[in-house]
DNA sequence: TTGTAGGCGTTATCAC
DNA sequence: GTGATAACGCCTACAA
């Protein structure tokens, strides 16, 4: 079933040169005479030669492969970052190996280990907070690693992202400036997600600075439209009812879910309730009245992570921390309190 | 920078056994005595041994890696399929290698070739229609390949999916039964996408069976919310205006984009216009009034593709064609014509 | 500029 | 049940 596949030795033979010359002709075209390079290229094309990645990796001790470990692939924000990484890597002959762990810590360690066994030359991780076992295997592998979507407070790790805390505080500040004084929060699960945790902390800090808090009106749930809507339902069905005029959400999916629940109940947004999101996914702009949210440069995060990794693999230094701008996009879901 | 990493030889030495025994102890535990297996396992744990995938692949001539080539990763329908594939493969010690080509034929060939060079043992492709160069490299690699989201009309290739044509015809039939006689269609690009082509053909056939056609009211565009909305805008802004009572869309993103444009213009759905989608993404159920669409078992497609590949790699036969059920989900966007 | 030879870490085929 | 040993396909000093 498996067909015969030409090896480099076959190409060399067919081109009438030695194995090493053929190897050089493909890897370092500058080191061989023009006509020999052409001979080799012709022979390769004739035989339909395809390099054997494993053999190459074994001999050269690098796989030209980068691994990315994502919480989930089912979030547009990660999708665009992934695409950007792959594009950037591809331009340099690198391939992206993707793994997702569905927000399960154990799985994260398992899949990361799998990538490491596959011999990835570098790693892109999301967030700075990971199980000790994860750091351990990455450390031991001794390959460069970029932490994304966050700024590492310790300043020790290489990361490209932004301060989730300050960004969330900015959204909260926007609501405070509009005059809101009673807040509710729909957060992602903070236990296993440092971005969610930082965002929630940012909201709390901004409120605390005004002597406010949202205690009893903070719900944690899974980042999805359906869960956002369900959480909003739970919030509104409390005995206290809608005892808040502003809702800060951990991401756009939660915010849009909440918005849909409001529309279903006839709660007017923003007249009766203001809502903010986080991420600025495409739907945020499309769904009336337009979600006020924080624009996160997801593609740029992916691109920069890839570039930084390539730089480091080439032996060049990069700044430990690269901060990207997050912009508040004011749309239709925020306004003065009733 | 790169740290020392224990090799299998080190483990064998530390355990006081030969290299071959150590190898067997990990690969075929049944072939070694219990206590020797334990010795090896202890030594491996002690040294933090991590198998070297490339060396393993080179020696065993299989990488325990499967490649999936997707049109885009930025579509929830592919995200869930991907997740399912990865999960199923992971359970058997296989890793998923992902690549996307953004609906660009040349890129598809390039990334597929990259996967092949990486030594993937099997391939998952989307659709049955691909550039000849693609089929050529896959053929030459001689590895099993599963075509998904479609049924191959030639009956020659291994595929798991459904008939896009019949499914689209079913949605059209639903509208016909409601009494609609004037149709418009928002289709994906048919030139480079056989699923989109088949769906459009299905709509046309269903209409033709009643002596109807939608000529002049068929638009092709990119599968996205924004493009769907823009296409709807273009459709409504024609001189002829809204000269149709039913709109059949190539997927949910297009349909929801169209729905949003209708809502923005005050066109009541379904009272004035009925809309159908295709895929049944989460948003389809959440966005009022709820999109009538075709439910595609995307996760199951991914899962079955993975299972079939694993079966074939194990030397077992599978049916060439596996058809999965597509269900019409009637929600709020379809009703009788005004 | 080109060729030779040794090695990369594992699996697989033999003997024992 | 266990242990030598030869591949696996390529890269890369080093020699010519």
Distance CA B197, CA B220 (A): 10
> For residues A275 and A247, is the Cβ–Cβ distance under 8 A?
yes
Tokens representing B297 are 């078992």
Quick one: pLDDT at residue A153? Answer: 77
Distance CA A279, CA A199 (A): 12
Q: What is the structure's pLDDT at B29?
A: 87
User: What pLDDT band is residue A3 in, cutting at 50, 70 and 90?
Assistant: low
By the 8 A CB rule, do B313 and B251 touch? no
Q: How far apart are CA B108 and CA A24, in angstroms?
A: 28
Inspect the interface and report whether the beta carbons of B286 and A52 lie closer than 8 Å.
Answer: no
Q: Is the pTM of this model over 0.95?
A: no
pLDDT at A2 over 50: no
pLDDT tens for B305-337 read 999 999 999 999 999 999 999 999 999 999 999
Average pLDDT over residues A25-41: 89
Specify the higher pLDDT residue, B2 or A213: A213
Query: What pLDDT was estimated at residue A30?
Result: 86
- The full DSSP string for B117-141 is HTT-SEEEEESS---HHHHHHHHHH
In Å, how far is B207's CA from the nearest CA of chain A?
A: 32
Task: Name A174's Cβ contacts closer than 8 Å, sequence gap at least 6.
Answer: A276, A292, A328, A330, A334
Contact status, residue B64 vs residue B74, Cβ threshold 8 Å:
no
How much is the average pLDDT of A217-243? 96
Name the residue of chain B whose CA is nearest to A289's CA. B264
B293: left (phi over 0), alpha (psi -120 to 50) or beta: beta
What pLDDT digit, counting tens, does each position of B105-117 carry?
999 999 999 999 9
Chain D nucleotides close to protein (CB under 7 A) are 1-5, 7-13
Partner B, chain A 68-127, Cβ-Cβ below 8 Å: 72-74, 76, 79-80, 82-83, 86, 90, 95-100, 102, 110-111, 113-119
Which of A61, A86, A117 faces B53 most closely, judged by CB atoms? Answer: A117
pLDDT at B1 > cutoff 60? no
Chain B residues inside the 8 Å CB shell of A140: 3, 5, 48, 50
For residue B240, what is the enclosing H or E element? none
Q: How far apart are CA A113 and CA A133, in angstroms?
A: 10
Closest partner residue to B73 (CB to CB) among A63, A65, A73 is A73
User: Where are any strands of DSSP class E within B101-237?
Assistant: 122-126, 145-148, 159-161, 183-188, 218-221
Q: Give the pLDDT score at B4.
A: 73
A277-305 per-position pLDDT tens digit: 999 999 999 999 999 999 999 999 999 99
Residues B297 and B279: beta-carbon distance below 8 Å: no
Q: How far apart are the first and last CA of chain A?
A: 72
Residue of B nearest to A118 (CA): B53
CB within 8 Å: A114 and B82? no
> Which residues face B160 on adjacent strands?
B148, B322
Q: Characterize the bridge pairing of strands A327-329 and A293-295.
A: antiparallel
pLDDT at A121 over 80: yes
Among B82, B111, B140, whose Cβ lies nearest the Cβ of A73? B82
User: Chain C positions under 7 Å from a protein CB?
Assistant: 1-13
**Residue B3 confidence (pLDDT) above 80:** no
- Cβ contact A146:A120 at 8 Å: no
Distance measured from the CA of protein residue B251 to the C1' of nucleotide C16, in angstroms: 66
Residue A28 pLDDT? 87
Statement: residue B150 has pLDDT above 60: yes
- Give A-chain residues touching B286 at CB under 8 angstroms: 225-226, 229, 257, 260
List the single protein residue with the shortest CA to C1' distance from D5.
B20
Enter the DSSP assignment of B282: H
Q: Which residues between 123 and 182 in chain B have a beta carbon less than 8 angstroms from any beta carbon of chain A?
A: 137, 140-143
The pLDDT-based confidence of A1 (bands split at 50, 70, 90) is: very low
The DSSP letter of residue B2 is P
């Amino acid at each position: 079933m498996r067909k015969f596949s030409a090896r480099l030795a076959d190409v060399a033979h067919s081109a009438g040169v030695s194995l090493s010359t053929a190897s050089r002709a493909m890897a370092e075209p500058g080191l061989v005479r023009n006509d020999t390079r052409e001979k080799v290229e012709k022979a390769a094309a004739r035989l339909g030669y395809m390099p054997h990645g494993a053999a190459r990796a074994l001999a050269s001790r690098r796989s030209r492969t980068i691994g990315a470990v994502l919480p989930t692939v089912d979030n547009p924000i990660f999708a665009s970052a992934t695409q950007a990484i792959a594009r950037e890597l591809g331009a340099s002959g690198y391939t992206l190996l993707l793994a997702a762990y569905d927000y399960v810590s154990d799985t994260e360690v398992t899949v990361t280990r799998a990538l490491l066994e596959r011999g990835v030359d570098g790693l892109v991780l999301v967030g700075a907070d990971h199980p000790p076992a994860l750091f351990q295997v990455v450390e031991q592998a001794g390959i460069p690693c970029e932490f994304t979507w966050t700024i590492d407070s310790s300043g020790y790790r290489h990361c490209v992202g932004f301060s989730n805390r300050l960004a969330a505080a900015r959204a909260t500040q926007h609501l405070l400036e509009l005059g809101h004084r009673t807040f509710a929060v729909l957060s992602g699960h903070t236990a296993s997600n440092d971005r969610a945790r930082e965002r929630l902390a940012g909201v709390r800090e901004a409120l605390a600075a005004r002597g406010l808090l949202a205690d009893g009106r903070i719900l944690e749930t899974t980042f999805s439209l359906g869960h956002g809507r369900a959480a909003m339902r739970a919030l509104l069905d409390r005995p206290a009812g809608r005892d808040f005029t502003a809702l800060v959400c951990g991401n756009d999916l939660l915010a849009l879910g909440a918005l849909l629940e409001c529309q279903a109940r006839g709660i007017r947004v923003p007249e009766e309730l203001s809502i903010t999101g986080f991420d600025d996914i495409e739907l945020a702009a499309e769904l009336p009245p337009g979600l006020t949210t924080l624009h996160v440069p997801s593609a740029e995060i992916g691109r920069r992570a890839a570039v930084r990794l390539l730089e480091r693999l080439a032996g060049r230094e990069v700044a430990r921390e690269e901060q990207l701008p997050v912009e508040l996009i004011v749309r239709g879901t925020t306004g003065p309190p009733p």
